[in-house]
Structure 1
């Protein structure tokens, strides 16, 4: 349904939004008056009202739940609308600021910060990028991969790897089969790291003790993040 609005000088105003409608009603008017005004509008839209979502807004005022409930019963009975709700509570300043920041950082508004490669990185080959690096394949012994951000290998990591090469010790290295000959994160270097379990996804990060490697599923490194963030 295309957005549209029907502005009137009366006690009911209608706006079409998405797959439904928003009714702004004057709560000082009687229920009979409001139902009569709604009927004038909805009789012309009957073919669009079936299962439509409707929001009833009593002019931004509170304490009119009974009116919303009564008009909801009227709309469902007369016009077979679907879900009917009130306008909801306005967001607090803190919630609105968080929402604005999330939108500003949303992936919908960003160019890609990831270099994604398909295939095997073979011995003697070197891949270097200032971005995050994702490899859908293996990194063979004798190969080297370097990234300014995280390194994710969706296969076997058996070569040399350097994540956070511009000094980012918050970067991580993740591989489905983790057995690099050398690993470096930021300026922290470690020689070959033995996998805890062969063929298990593991993730390396910097801690107070240097570079530590954990089972990815057991450690759940991103489990405390409430929703996706842009790295």
Structure 2
């Protein structure tokens, strides 16, 4: 089979992952980031960053997840503005090379990067290029809607038999996300057979339907009604609704 006849999952992808200070993408600051070049019959390569978090604090609960304290980030990290610029530039270059961006829970990471870019006067990614995004969580939920259990990256790696060494390391998570997407595409012709532009557009619809279902579940579940208001429906980037606080 010629390279042109191979599905998109046999061609290079770019994985992206962030570790941050908060679960709120509107206010979170980047602590670490990774852009991984994966697949296409080439060795996996990566570039990683550690930010000084621009004077922000890293809460203890965030440190418990990724291991970086405020002191460590300020001592070893590079200026946050430079990290944001370099990550955005690396992702834009991958898009220009024709690579899809593989991002677990894309609205979180892409929104954090977008808000950080606006915070530091960096041209945001979506103002530079129009990425085609592949989100393992959206894809898995579509192909296996009623499978019981969680949908975290660890859960997906377990289900698709993908190694995840060093979970909550940006590099490890970005690499594992690419491997999960490859496994999904290799298993389901309905995914690998779609051209990337169509698959991106379909995920916009699927993610909205999935989030509507989650919102409705919260709304009818005693004790969780208030959570429904926090469910956002947009994918892969949450629109910026207000000025970004520096």
Report if TM-score (shorter chain) is over 0.5: no
TM-score norm. by structure 2 comes to 0.22
Does 1 or 2 have the higher relative contact order (CA < 8 Å, sep 6+)? 2
Structure with the higher fraction of residues in helix conformation:
2
